[in-house]
Structure 1
Amino acid sequence: MKVYGVVAAFWLSLASATILQNGQVRPNDYPSTAISAISSYNSSWHTYSPGSPELSYKGRWDHKYISWWSAPGLKFGFQADQVAISFGKYTSDGVLVAYRLGGQDWMLTNVTANSTHLFVTPSTTGYNLTTPTNVTQTLELRVTNWAYGVQIQCVHISGGAAKLVKIPDYTRTMELIGDSLSAGQYATLEGISSYSWGLLYGLGNVEFSITAYPGICLHEGRCYSNLHGQTAQWLKIPDTSGRALDIYGSDLADIPNWDFAAHPAADITVINIGTNDNNTANNVTATGYYNSYIQLINEIHTRWPQSQIIVISLWSGFSQVGNTWQQGAGFLDEIQNVVKYFNNGSLNGRGECSSCFVYYFNTTGILEHSDIGPLYHPTDVGHVKLASHLMQYIKLTFGWILEQTGPEVQHDTLYWNDEADY
Structure 2
Amino acid sequence: MNPLGFMLFACISVTSATILQNGQVRSNDYPDTAVATILPSDPGWVSYNPNASELSYKGRWDHQYISWWSAPGLKFGFQAQSIAISFGNYTSDGVLLAYRIDGQDWLLTNVTANSTHLFVTPKTAGYNLTQPSNGVQTFEMRVTNWAYGVQVKCVHASGPAARLVHIPNYPRTMELIGDSLSAGQYATLEGISSYSWGLMYGLGNVEFSITAYPGICLHDSRCYGNLHGQTFQWLKIPDTSSRALDIYGDGPDIPDWDFAAHPAADITVINIGTNDNNTANNITQAQYHDSYVQLINDIHARWPASQIIVISLWSGFSQVGNTWVQGGGFVDIIESVVRSFNNGSLNERGGEGFVHYFNTTGILEHNDIGPLYHPTDVGHIKLASHLMQYIKLTFGWILEQTGPEVQHDTLYWNDQSSY
Cα distance in 2, alignment partners of residues 303 and 8 from structure 1: 30
What's the counterpart of residue 258 of structure 1? Answer: 257
Instruction: Choose which of 360, 364, 382 in structure 2 pairs with 1:363.
Output: 360
One-letter amino acid of the structure 1 residue matched with residue 333 of structure 2: E
**2:415 matched residue in structure 1:** 418
Q: For 1:404, which of 401, 405, 408 is the aligned residue? A: 401
Alignment of 1:117-132 (within 5 A): 117-131=117-131
Report the CA distance between 1:283 and its aligned residue.
Answer: 0.5
Which secondary structure does the structure 1 equivalent of 2:390 belong to? Answer: helix
What residue in structure 1 maps to residue 281 of structure 2?
282
> Within 2, Cα distance between the matches of 1:96 and 1:54?
24
Corresponding residue number in structure 2 for 1:106: 106
Identity, in percent, stands at 78
Tell which deviates more after alignment, 2-11 or 319-328: 2-11
- Find the counterpart in structure 2 of residue 164 from structure 1: 164
Write the distance in 2 (CA, Å) between the matches of 1:101 and 1:323. 50
Offset of residue 72 of structure 1: 0.1
State the AA in 1 paired with 2:402: T
Q: Deviations for 1:338-387, whole angstroms, at most 9, x for unmatched residues?
A: 00000011235x2652x200000000000000000000000000000000
Alignment root-mean-square deviation, CA: 1.6
Misfit runs of 4+, over 3 Å? 4-11, 39-42, 130-134
Q: Report which stretch shifted further, 313-322 or 35-44.
A: 35-44
Q: Secondary structure at the match of 2:328?
A: coil
8 Å CA contact retained: 2:8, 2:275: no
Aligned to 2:136: 136
TM-score normalised by length of structure 1: 0.96
Deviation of 1:15 (Å): 6.1
In 2: Cα distance, 1:97 partner to 1:4 partner: 30
Q: How does 1:189-338 map to 2 (within 5 A)?
A: 189-251=189-251, 253-338=252-337
User: Which amino acid in 1 is paired with 2:22?
Assistant: N
Secondary structure of 1:221 counterpart: coil
8 A contact 2:9–2:214 mirrored in 1:
no
Q: Which residue of 1 aligns with 2:97?
A: 97
Contact kept? 2:53, 2:166, Cα under 8 Å: yes
Q: Structure 2 vs 1, CA of residues 46 and 394 (structure 1 numbering), >3 Å: closer, same or farther? A: same
Q: Cα distance, 1:16 vs. partner?
A: 2.9
Query: Would the alpha carbon gap of residues 7 and 309 (structure 1) be closer, same or farther in structure 2, given more than 3 Å must change?
Result: closer
- Given residue 299 of structure 2, which amino acid in structure 1 is its aligned partner? I
CA contact (8 A) 1:352 1:360 kept: no
Answer yes or no: is 1:3 the counterpart of 2:12: no
- Check 1:9–1:325 CA distance in 2 against 1; reply closer, same or farther (3 A cut): closer
Q: Report if aligned partners of 1:79, 1:134 keep a CA contact under 8 Å in 2.
A: no
| Matched letter for residue 271 of structure 2 | N
For residues 153-194 of structure 1, give each alpha carbon's deviation from its aligned partner in whole angstroms, at most 9, with x where no partner exists. Answer: 000000032011000000100000000000000000000000
Whether contact under 8 Å (2:5, 2:315) holds in the other structure is: no
Relative distance call for 1:362 and 1:6 in structure 2 (3 A) is closer
Question: Please, which moves more after superposition, 156-165 or 198-207?
Answer: 156-165
State the Cα distance separating 1:42 from its structure 2 match. 6.5
Q: Answer yes or no: is the 8 Å Cα contact 1:177–1:272 preserved in 2.
A: yes
Structure 1 residues 132 and 84, CA gap change in structure 2 (3 angstroms) = farther
* Aligned counterparts, 1:35-74, within 5 A: 35-39=35-39, 43-74=43-74
Mapped partners of 1:176, 1:159: distance in 2: 39
Report the AA paired with residue 317 of structure 2: F
1:57 alignment partner, SS class: strand
Give the match's secondary structure for 1:116: strand
Of 410-419 and 383-392, deviating more is 410-419
> 2:371 is matched with which residue?
374
Q: Distance between the aligned counterparts of 2:256 and 2:74, measured in 1?
A: 21
Gaps of 5+ in 1: none
For 1:371, the aligned partner's letter is D
For residue 3 of structure 1, report the CA deviation from its aligned partner.
2.8
Q: Confirm or deny: 8 A CA contact 2:7 2:373 kept in the other structure.
A: no
1:343 corresponds to = 342
Alpha-carbon distance change, 313 to 387 in structure 1, aligned in 2, over 3 angstroms = same
Partner deviation per Cα, 1:280-327 (whole Å, 9 max, x = no partner)? 000111111011000000000000000000000001110111111000
1:35–1:116: 8 Å Cα contact kept in structure 2?
A: yes
Q: Per the alignment, do residues 268 and 132 of structure 1 end up closer, same or farther by CA in structure 2, a change over 3 Å counting?
A: closer
Q: Which residue of 1 aligns with 2:19?
A: 19
Q: Separation in 2 of the partners of 1:297 and 1:324?
A: 37
Q: What displacement does 1:118 show?
A: 0.3
CA 1:246–1:357: 2 relative to 1, 3 Å: same
Q: Deviations for 1:55-81, whole angstroms, at most 9, x for unmatched residues?
A: 000000000000000000000001000
**Superposition deviation, residue 113 in structure 1:** 0.3
Q: What is the 5 A alignment of 1:148-187?
A: 148-187=148-187
Q: Report the residue type matching 2:34 in the other structure.
A: A
Tell me how far 1:2 sits from its aligned partner.
Answer: 2.8
Amino acid at match of 1:226: N
**Alignment partners' CA distance in 2, 1:328 and 1:15:** 29
Give, in whole Å, the separation in 2 of the partners of 1:115 and 1:373. 36
- Give the letter aligned to residue 379 of structure 1: T
- The question of whether the paired residues in 2 share the 8 Å contact of 1:80 and 1:133 is answered with no
Give the total of aligned pairs: 418
SS of aligned partner of 1:315? strand
After TM superposition, the structure 1 stretch with the greater mean CA deviation from structure 2, 33-42 or 43-52, is 33-42
Instruction: Letter of the 1:415 partner, please give it.
Output: Y
**1:386 match:** 383
